[in-house]
């Protein structure tokens, strides 16, 4: 009986490796999003300082427009980070519940599957929002440098 239990725990450990690699990938994605958010915040600070300086009407209007765009981009990035963290939390729950199921000899395969599906859905949302933010940044960059 003890041997079967150890075998089951060993199997769960082997199965938990893939979600742990997925957590690493999500962590890397969160880091990239965090860097983008930091750049947006830094640019907003520069523009706020510029806005309080001496600008003609056209420069002030352009600065306010860019601030609006940066505010929009920061909201997208924040939402993407939120979705990525949600995905990571679901993956952590998948690993935890798999171990609890093995330790307590419970049948929780459906719960694990649902949590994994929710994690993938949150990751898809994260990537879609991230792609939208990149689209906005590139479009604005193209418009700015024409």
Q: How far is CA 120 from the centre of its chain?
A: 12
Q: What is the mean pLDDT of the chain?
A: 89
**Residue whose C-alpha is closest to residue 47's, from 74, 21, 67:** 67
Question: How do residues 15-51 score in pLDDT, each as one tens digit?
Answer: 778 888 999 999 999 999 999 999 999 999 999 999 8
Distance (Å, rounded) from C-alpha 79 to C-alpha 128? 10
Question: How do residues 87-120 score in pLDDT, each as one tens digit?
Answer: 999 999 999 998 888 888 788 889 999 999 999 9
State the pLDDT at residue 25.
95
Q: How far is CA 34 from the centre of its chain?
A: 9
First vs last C-alpha separation in the chain: 73
**pLDDT value at 55 more than 90:** no
**pLDDT value at 58 more than 60:** yes
Domain of 136 in residue numbering reads as 2-144
State the pLDDT at residue 2.
63
Q: Tell me how many domains the chain contains.
A: 1
């Amino acid at each position: 009986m003890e041997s079967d239990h150890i075998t089951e725990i060993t199997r769960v450990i082997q199965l938990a490796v893939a979600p742990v690699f997925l957590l690493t990938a999500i962590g890397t994605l969160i880091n990239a999003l965090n860097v983008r958010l930091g750049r947006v915040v830094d640019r907003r600070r520069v523009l706020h300082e510029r806005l309080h300086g001496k600008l003609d009407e056209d420069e002030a209007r352009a600065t306010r427009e860019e601030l609006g765009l940066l505010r929009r981009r920061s909201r997208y990035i924040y939402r993407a980070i939120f979705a990525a963290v949600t995905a990571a939390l679901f993956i952590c729950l998948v690993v935890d519940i798999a171990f609890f199921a093995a330790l307590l000899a419970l049948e929780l395969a459906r719960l694990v599957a649902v949590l994994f599906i929710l994690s993938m859905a949150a990751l898809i949302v994260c990537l879609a929002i991230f792609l939208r933010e990149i689209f906005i940044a590139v479009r604005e960059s193209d418009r700015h440098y024409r």
